[in-house]
Amino acid sequence: MAQTLTVAIMDAPYEAAASTTAFRIIASALRKGIDVNVFAYEGAVSLTMKGQAPHANPVKGTTVEEEDHPTTKDIVSALVALGAEAPRLTWVNCGLCVDERGAGDWIDGVKRGGPADFLKMAEGSSATLVIPTK
Amino acid sequence: MRILNIVESAYRATLEEQDDTVLWLSRALRNAGADLTVLLRGNAVSYAVQQACPTLSLGALTIQHPAQPNDDLAKLRAKGAAVFVVQEDLDDRGIDKQRCVEAAQPVRRAEIATLLEEHDQIWHW
């Protein structure tokens, strides 16, 4: 039987190293053929906002092209591409969290959902990993 | 599937949900049919203390519905979810259990391993 991992994440973009760890776990699981569900709760719904834009770095004197630094929406897009078929990545943003943050304009491959979806994903998974805000 | 939601962070993001966000999530999961237990530890044991929750005024703005953690715990219990609070974490903060609501049942640290064994998934928030 195919394995499935559900991951709940909460941190807003760039706030915590835990988000980087979560991205790495998700990518590693997909590369190992494990289906992954993500439930983005609270600030984590902003990870997928389409309006994110990279910038130049005036301290280093580099242009935006020289920096070539992806935003979190680019990282999630890469994960969505990695999990486009089999194994599959299912990314669900908490809808109420989205509404309170005005974060509804998101990249392709992301769905709106709620706690019932998180429960359903957890019940259908081999394991659930909660990475909360601390 | 039995889920143990361990809540440790306290009074965070209460402006957002006007609740503790994980107690809110616990109630939503319970309403969706989850077999759920809540364990309060660390600073979140303060949720078990009987407390007044006044409204918050900022300039002309008033937040009329502040977080009510006592009510959240009582409503979880009313829905059949067990709620535990770590006794030693109360003791460490000088909180007498007489000040705590009945909805939260004290549990010793030595008993937590048994509690973990009784659940299929442990979610630590």
If one counts every other C-beta atom within 10 angstroms of the C-beta of residue A52, the result is 15
Mutate to test the interface with B, among A97, A130, A131 (most CBs of B within 10 A): A130
Distance in Å, alpha carbon of A119 to nearest chain B alpha carbon: 7
Q: Is A121 within 8 Å of A37 (Cβ atoms)?
A: yes
Q: Element (H or E) spanning B36, and its range?
A: strand B35-40
The span from the CA of B81 to the CA of B5, in Å, is: 11
pLDDT greater than 90 at residue A2: no
Q: Give the Cα-Cα-Cα angle B28, B52, A99 (nearest 5 degrees).
A: 35
Quote the CA–CA distance of A87 and A40 in Å, as a whole number. Answer: 19
CB B105 within 8 A of CB B83: yes
Check: CB of residue B121 under 8 Å from CB of residue B70: no
Can you tell me whether residue B58 is helix, strand or coil? strand
DSSP states of A46-74 as a string?
Answer: GGGBTT-----BTTTTB-HHHH----HHH
Domains in chain B, CATH or no CATH each: 2-124 (3.40.1260.10)
Q: Kindly state whether A128 is in contact with chain B, defined as any CB-CB distance less than 8 angstroms.
A: yes
Please determine, for the modelled complex, whether the ipTM score is greater than 0.90. Answer: no
Is the Cβ of B16 closer than 8 Å to some Cβ of chain A? Answer: yes
Beta pairing, strands B56-58 & B61-63? antiparallel
Question: Quick check: A128 and B121 CB within 8 A?
Answer: yes
Structure confidence by residue, pLDDT tens digits, A43-101: 999 999 999 999 999 888 999 999 999 999 999 999 999 999 999 999 999 999 999 99
Quote the mean pLDDT of chain A. Answer: 96
**How far apart are alpha carbons B92 and B115 in whole angstroms?**
21
Question: What percent of chain B stands above pLDDT 90?
Answer: 79
Give the model's confidence band at B58: pLDDT under 50 very low, under 70 low, under 90 confident, else very high. confident
pTM of the model: 0.89
Confidence label for B12 from pLDDT (cuts 50, 70 and 90): confident
How does pLDDT run across B71-83, given as a tens digit for each residue?
A: 999 999 999 999 9
At A1, the pLDDT band (50, 70, 90 cuts) reads low
* CATH class of segment(s) A4-51+63-131: alpha beta
Domain residue limits, chain A: 4-51+63-131
Number of other CB atoms surrounding residue A101 within 10 Å:
17
Using a CB-CB distance cutoff of 8 angstroms, which residues of chain B are in contact with residue A128? 121, 123
Which residue in the block uniquely carries the two structure tokens 């829905």? Answer: B79
| pLDDT reading at B124 higher than 70 | yes
